[in-house]
Amino acid sequence: MARTLITGGLVVTASDEMHVDVLIDQGKVVALATPDSHGWTADRVLDATGMYVIPGGVDAHTHMEMPFGGTTASDSFETGTRAAAWGGTTTIIDFAIQSRGGSLREGFDSWLHKADGQCAVDYAFHMIMSDVNESSLKEMDTLIEGGVSSFKLFTAYPGVFLSDDGQILRAMQRAADNGGLIMTHAENGLAIDVLVEQALARGERDPRYHGEVRKALLEAEATHRVIRLSQVAGAPVYVVHVSAQEAVAELARARDEGLPVFGETCPQYLFLSTDNLAEPDFEGAKYVCSTPLRPKEHQAALWRGLRTNDLQVVSTDHCPFCFKGQKDMGIGDFSRIPNGLPGVENRMDLLHQAVVDGHVSRTRWIDIACAAPAKMFGLYPQKGTIAPGADADIVIYDPEAEQVMSAKTHHMNVDYSAYEGKPVKGRVRTVLSRGVPVIEAGRYVGHAGHGTYLPRGLSQFP
Ligand code: URP
Ligand code: ZN
Ligand code: ZN
């Protein structure tokens, strides 16, 4: 395997910015040193002058090929991980799903099979528990031994994924014993279903009503509930795709009390709003996801939460459905629009734009996009940093490049971009995955099957 030297760049990690060269051998970072202090030779030298040298992104929330609402997310593991690489993400953590009446192991095996030999970058799995019972609770222990150490439970989607409070408490109690991390989709799904029915009866059928019935208060209520259930169980909890300022306030209050409570938000909540859901001619369907987009005013609380560490991670919740042929299942009934947005390719760039806009610092960019998700889900320091011994998952990033986001140029297998026409500063130039080039000077040189399954350890709570 080629010994590689990256010279002349600014290495940015979650904790440091250093003008150092990076030596890579056997797929690992071997050493960092100032350019005038070493005499390293290598088979391949990558000149990063004027560039940032950053860890590959860790996207801890994706749904490749996810069956949902009578259709399937349009990115396969092959197309989705290729797009991830284009966007500077070198690790994804996707969600295997336990079907109702099925075991966790069956769900896990089925997702391992879907991903096997397909991925351009490394991948791991969380487990969605849709059937919490004696047997699936016991199975959590064996899944943890197999490298699946986090479990998503839903207070939403009655009849599909929803677990009741007793089931959630039991799973949290088990996690308190076995070290697993419970992730929650926190919205009051039973109350939302009542509001959906009433809205449809009033003839409110457009995509924008998706945002109106999935009220911020119902996100906050469920967030409060799962936090208190976790407190009773004596277990940590990680709340996924936080979008409402009231939910951030619940997390902040609990953290001020010293509870091990963690939160993730997503670029769509930071950059998009209910204005997008209200776009005419059914275009709003492109922005239907749950939790839903919120009025713009909520964004300040999310950015603040990321700065104060009340929110630790930005993941994409990448779950793409094509506008034509998938989203249009909900024409005339917003509740039939498949929930989810594309974004795995856009996250690192959008968060760099957040640096340019002054929302977060450069090191915080790397923390929320690389280091914190790796720590949260037991992959650090193998992933998420540039340090001796770490996997050489490295992005050479041009901070001065300008690009305009568009479905015409993206690589995700979906017929629209949620950020169509958005100009951003910064662009990925080169991506290494375990030292192997995947993107080289703006060209894809990777291949399906390079990415390997990553068994994870227990959370290292950042
Ligand atoms: O709308 C979303 N978020 N779709 C994906 C499934 C989920 O709840 O994360
Ligand atoms: Zn969810
Ligand atoms: Zn999701």
Q: Is the pTM above the cut of 0.85? A: yes
User: Does residue 461 sit within a domain?
Assistant: no
- CA–CA separation, 163 and 48 (whole Å): 49
Sign of CA dihedral 28, 33, 35, 40: negative
User: Does residue 28 sit within a domain?
Assistant: yes
Ligand 3 centroid from CA 313, angstroms: 14
Q: In what order do the strands lie in the sheet with 443-444?
A: 17-18, 10-12, 52-55, 394-404, 423-433, 436-440, 443-444
Report residues of the chain scoring pLDDT below 50. none
Q: Which atom of ligand 1 is nearest to the CA of 154?
A: 8
Residues 407 and 371 in one domain: no
DSSP annotation string for 111-158: HHHHHTTT-SSEEEEEEE-S--SHHHHHHHHHHHHTT--EEEEESSST
- Identify the domain boundary among 326, 357, 376: 376
Please tell me the number of the ligand nearest to residue 61's CA.
Answer: 3
Ligand 3 centroid from CA 266, angstroms: 10
Residues 170 and 259 in one domain: yes
Please tell me the number of the ligand nearest to residue 184's CA.
Answer: 2
Ligand 1 centroid from CA 297, angstroms: 22
Residues 287 and 415 in one domain: no
Any idea what DSSP says for residue 299?
A: H
Residues 69 and 11 in one domain: no
User: Does residue 151 sit within a domain?
Assistant: yes
Contact between residue 91 and residue 124 where contact means Cβ atoms under 8 Å apart: yes
What pLDDT is attached to residue 102?
Answer: 97
Ligand 2 centroid from CA 317, angstroms: 8
Ligand 2 centroid from CA 130, angstroms: 12
Contact between residue 212 and residue 277 where contact means Cβ atoms under 8 Å apart: no
Ligand 3 centroid from CA 430, angstroms: 28
Contact between residue 141 and residue 151 where contact means Cβ atoms under 8 Å apart: no
Residues 100 and 177 in one domain: yes
Least Cα distance to 124 among 410, 458, 452 occurs for: 452
Q: Which SS3 state, helix, strand or coil, does residue 163 take?
A: coil
Contact between residue 131 and residue 105 where contact means Cβ atoms under 8 Å apart: no
Any idea what DSSP says for residue 378?
A: T
User: Does residue 203 sit within a domain?
Assistant: yes
- For residue 438, give the CATH number of its domain: 2.30.40.10
- For residue 348, give the CATH number of its domain: 3.20.20.140
Contact between residue 167 and residue 202 where contact means Cβ atoms under 8 Å apart: no
Ligand 1 centroid from CA 62, angstroms: 9
The separation between the first and the last C-alpha atoms of the chain, rounded to the nearest angstrom, is 33
What pLDDT is attached to residue 63?
Answer: 98
- CA–CA separation, 352 and 395 (whole Å): 13
Q: Which atom of ligand 1 is nearest to the CA of 289?
A: 1
- Identify the domain boundary among 344, 376, 408: 376
Residues 397 and 301 in one domain: no
- CA–CA separation, 243 and 211 (whole Å): 11
Contact between residue 13 and residue 385 where contact means Cβ atoms under 8 Å apart: yes
Residues 29 and 101 in one domain: no
Least Cα distance to 76 among 451, 455, 456, 454 occurs for: 451
Give the residue whose CA is nearest to atom 2 of ligand 1.
340
Report the residue among 72, 161, 243, 317 best suited for mutation to probe ligand 1: largest number of ligand atoms under 8 A from its CB.
317
Residues 312 and 405 in one domain: no
Find where tokens 């949290």 sit. 172
- Identify the domain boundary among 353, 376, 399: 376
Report the residue among 95, 185, 289, 344 best suited for mutation to probe ligand 1: largest number of ligand atoms under 8 A from its CB.
289
Give the residue whose CA is nearest to atom 8 of ligand 1.
290
What pLDDT is attached to residue 462?
Answer: 78
Please tell me the number of the ligand nearest to residue 66's CA.
Answer: 1
Give the residue whose CA is nearest to atom 3 of ligand 1.
290
Tally of structural domains, the chain = 2
Give the residue whose CA is nearest to atom 9 of ligand 1.
317
Please tell me the number of the ligand nearest to residue 62's CA.
Answer: 3
Ligand 2 centroid from CA 7, angstroms: 41
User: Does residue 187 sit within a domain?
Assistant: yes
Residues 9 and 75 in one domain: no
Tens-place pLDDT, residues 380-424: 999 999 999 999 999 999 999 999 999 999 999 999 999 999 999
Task: Retrieve residue 273's tokens.
Answer: 């709003």
- The whole domain housing 96 covers 57-376
Report the residue among 339, 341, 344 best suited for mutation to probe ligand 1: largest number of ligand atoms under 8 A from its CB.
339
What pLDDT is attached to residue 312?
Answer: 98
Give the residue whose CA is nearest to atom 4 of ligand 1.
340
Give the residue whose CA is nearest to atom 5 of ligand 1.
340
User: Does residue 455 sit within a domain?
Assistant: no
CA atoms within 13 A on the CB side of 447: 4
Ramachandran class of 318: left when φ > 0, alpha when ψ lies in -120 to 50, beta otherwise: beta
Sign of CA dihedral 267, 273, 278, 279: negative
Residues 43 and 69 in one domain: no
Name the maximum alpha-carbon separation found in the chain. 74
What residue ranges line ligand 1, CB within 6 angstroms? 63, 185, 241, 289-290, 317, 319, 339-340
Q: Which atom of ligand 1 is nearest to the CA of 156?
A: 8
Q: How far is Cα of residue 235 from the mean position of the Cα atoms in its chain?
A: 22
Residues 137 and 218 in one domain: yes
Residues 293 and 339 in one domain: yes
Ligand 2 centroid from CA 346, angstroms: 19
Contact between residue 414 and residue 321 where contact means Cβ atoms under 8 Å apart: yes
Rg (CA), the chain: 21
What pLDDT is attached to residue 1?
Answer: 75
Ligand 3 centroid from CA 157, angstroms: 12
Residues 6+ apart with CB under 8 A from 215: 192, 195
User: Does residue 459 sit within a domain?
Assistant: no
Would you tell me how many other CB atoms lie within 10 Å of the CB of residue 159?
A: 8
User: Does residue 381 sit within a domain?
Assistant: no
